[in-house]
Amino acid sequence: MASSDKVPVPCPAISGEGNEPMGDPTKTTTAVLDKGTAMLQSMKPIKQMSLNMCSFACYSHDPGRHIEVHMYGHRVNQDFLQCAVYDSNSSKAHLIGIEYIVSEKVFESLSPDEQKLWHSHDYEIQMALLVTPRVPELVAKPELKNLAKSYGKFWCTWQIDRGDRLPLGVPSLMVSPQDVDLGRIKPELVKKRDEELGISTESLKPSREGICGPEKKNLIADYWVRFRKGVALDVVETDMKRTAPFP
């Protein structure tokens, strides 16, 4: 069955024409109904998102594959953020996954098996690959300093970069840019991102000097760097524990 590191069998979603998601444009009646009902609902959880970050991520089972990510995060407390991850910052952005970010303190409380699934953030912040659009560096600095010492866990559920026009397959574990062969982000991707946001990653680097990583760098995080092994998920059929007949 489906695996995160295997290409799906040919189907319109991967071999069809175009690269927009499959489907007809949203009808006006739908949009009007949506907006109308939204006014009646409180939407509190999503209103908590207060931090937008743009960076890059790599597939754990193929770290040479890099993607641009746009994260919208809610800082729950000093030690934890929960972020929705999109492939762009436009109204047509695809929701491609979720990333959780924890402080060094919380990360060290996790079991080694769990730590294998997490990645560090110091390199991407020091290299200004991770940016906080529209927020001046000086203002962002306290948060960047926090994040540089943090660890993240990112599951990607839509392999847009593969050309998938629908979210196929099972989640992929993602890893962060690293200062090793496959982990250095392709310059053309950085250039494209910089042009989109009207920034220069290169000129942001000096402001990141002095930002330090974790007090004690964990040797299990970024597992692929040291052990040259990635992580893939497979879906298996099993007996469902039931309270009633299914389906």
Between residue 103 and residue 142, which ones bind other proteins under the rule CB under 8 A? 103, 106, 109-111, 114, 132-135, 139-142
Half-sphere exposure of residue 147: CA atoms within 13 angstroms, side-chain side: 28
Binding-site size, other proteins (CB under 8 A):
116
Paired residues of 82 in beta bridges: 74, 100
In whole angstroms, the minimum distance from the beta carbon of 16 to other proteins comes to: 8
> Is 94 a binder of other proteins (CB under 8 A)?
yes
Q: What would the two tokens of residue 227 be?
A: 């052990």
Say which amino acid occupies 157: T
CB of 225 to other proteins, least distance (A): 10
51 contributes a contact to other proteins by CB under 8 A: yes
Q: What are phi and psi of 14, to 5 degrees?
A: -120, -20
Please select the residue that binds other proteins; options are 17, 43, 209, 215, rule is CB under 8 A.
43
> Is 56 or 224 the residue whose CB approaches other proteins more closely?
224
Work out whether 233 is an interface residue with other proteins (CB under 8 A).
yes
**122-130, 186-194, 205-213, 236-244 -> range binding other proteins (CB under 8 A):** 236-244
Per CB under 8 A, the list member of 18, 77, 198, 216 interacting with other proteins is: 77
Question: Rounded to the nearest whole angstrom, what is the least distance from the CB of residue 243 to other proteins in the complex?
Answer: 5
Residue closer to other proteins (CB basis): 129 or 140: 140
59: amino acid identity, one letter: Y
- Number of C-beta neighbours around residue 214 at 10 A: 19
* Shortest Å distance, C-beta 166 to other proteins: 6
Binding segment toward other proteins, per CB under 8 A, in 26-34, 123-131, 187-195, 203-211: 26-34
Query: Which residue, among 55, 131, 141, has the nearest Cα to 99 in the 3D structure?
Result: 55
15 lines the binding site for other proteins (CB under 8 A): no
- Asked whether the beta carbons of 22 and 166 are under 8 A apart, the reply is yes
Helix (H, G, I), strand (E, B) or coil at 201: helix
Residue with tokens 């992580």: 231
The token pair that represents 238 in the structure block: 């099993």
Which position has the token pair 């392709």? 186
